[in-house]
C-alpha cells in the first residue's frame, strides 16, 4: 500500500506503479454538475421527442415508449451486446476493445466527458450517472494495491470526489467473479448544495485498471439504491 500512499497528486494524473500513470484527467467526478456533461448530438430517438417544457412524468413516459427504438439505436451506436445478461429495466453495454461489460438503467443517455471511457446519465436527475474509466497498469491483481478499505479511501479522496467535498467511506468489500478479484465500496461525498451517495467497483484485467462508479443524490438514494447496486454488480471484465 506504500506505493499508493506515496504517489503524486491523483487529481489530474494517477501514476500507476501506484495506479500506473492513470493517464490524463483523472476526473472521475461523477458528482459534477450537469452542465459539465457534453451531450452527444446523436441522442436516442426517445430524447429527441422530449422537450424541456414537458413535466417529469411525461418525459419518463416518452422514454418508456421508445424502448425498442432506443435499444436498436444503442446496439448500432454504442456497442451494446445482446449476448450480455438481459435485466428488466436495464440496457447492456459490452466494450470488446477493452474487455468489460455492465448494465445501466433504461432511460439514461450516453454523454461525453473528457478523460472518461463511458458515461451514462439520467436525463432528469444530473447526479444519477454511471462512468467507466480504463487505464494501463503493470499490476496483475487489485490486491497488489492493498486492502479494499485502503484502496477505496485513497480513490475517494484523490479521484472520485473533488478535494473541496467532504467524503465518507461507508463500506468496502472484496469478491471474485470467474476467479478475478473485484473491490466494491460505498461512499458519500458532500458538497455545499448537495450530497451524492455512490457505489464503485474496481478491478484489473487485460493490462488495465478499471473503475466503474455510479450514484445518486442522497435524497433519492432510498429509491435508487437497488438499481445502482444492480449496475455495480453487473460489471465484469473479460479477456480480449
CATH number at residue 221: 3.40.1000.10
Q: Give helix 56-65 / helix 67-77 axis angle, nearest 10°.
A: 70
Cβ pair 87, 234 in contact under 8 A: yes
C-alpha cell at 119: 458515461
Q: Grid coordinates in use for 220? A: 433519492
Burial label for 221, CB within 10 Å (0-12, 13-18, 19+), is middle
Q: What is the pLDDT of residues 99-119, one digit of tens each?
A: 999 999 999 999 999 999 999
Please report, to the nearest 10 degrees, the dihedral formed by the alpha carbons of residues 128, 134, 139, 140 taken in order.
80
- Per the structure, the count of domains in the chain is 1
Candidate from 50-59, 66-75, 123-132, 225-234 with smallest mean pLDDT: 66-75
| Interval 157-191: pLDDT, tens | 999 999 999 999 999 999 999 999 999 999 999 99
Q: Which residues pair with 198 in a beta bridge?
A: 187, 215
Amino acid at each position: 500500500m506504500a506505493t499508493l500512499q506515496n504517489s503524486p497528486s491523483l487529481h489530474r494524473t494517477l501514476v500507476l506503479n501506484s495506479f500506473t500513470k492513470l493517464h490524463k484527467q483523472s476526473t472521475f467526478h461523477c458528482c459534477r454538475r450537469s452542465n459539465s456533461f457534453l451531450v452527444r448530438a446523436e441522442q436516442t430517438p426517445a430524447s429527441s421527442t422530449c422537450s424541456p417544457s414537458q413535466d417529469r412524468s411525461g418525459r419518463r413516459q416518452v422514454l418508456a415508449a421508445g424502448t425498442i427504438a432506443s435499444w436498436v439505436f444503442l446496439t448500432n451506436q454504442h456497442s451494446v451486446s445482446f449476448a450480455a445478461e438481459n435485466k428488466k429495466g436495464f440496457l447492456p453495454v459490452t466494450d470488446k476493445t477493452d474487455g468489460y461489460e455492465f448494465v445501466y438503467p433504461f432511460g439514461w443517455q450516453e454523454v461525453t466527458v473528457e478523460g472518461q471511457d463511458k458515461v451514462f446519465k439520467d436525463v432528469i436527475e444530473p447526479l444519477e450517472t454511471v462512468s467507466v474509466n480504463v487505464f494501463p497498469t503493470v499490476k496483475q491483481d487489485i490486491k497488489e494495491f492493498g486492502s479494499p478499505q485502503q484502496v477505496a479511501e485513497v480513490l475517494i479522496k484523490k479521484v472520485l470526489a473533488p478535494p473541496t467535498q467532504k467524503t465518507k467511506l461507508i463500506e468496502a468489500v472484496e469478491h471474485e467473479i470467474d476467479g478475478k478479484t473485484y473491490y466494491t465500496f460505498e461512499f458519500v461525498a458532500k458538497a455545499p448544495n448537495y450530497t451524492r451517495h455512490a457505489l464503485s467497483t474496481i478491478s484489473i484485467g487485460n493490462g488495465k485498471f478499471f473503475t466503474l462508479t455510479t450514484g445518486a443524490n442522497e435524497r433519492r438514494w432510498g429509491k435508487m439504491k437497488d438499481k445502482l447496486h444492480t449496475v455495480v454488480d453487473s460489471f465484469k471484465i473479460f479477456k480480449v
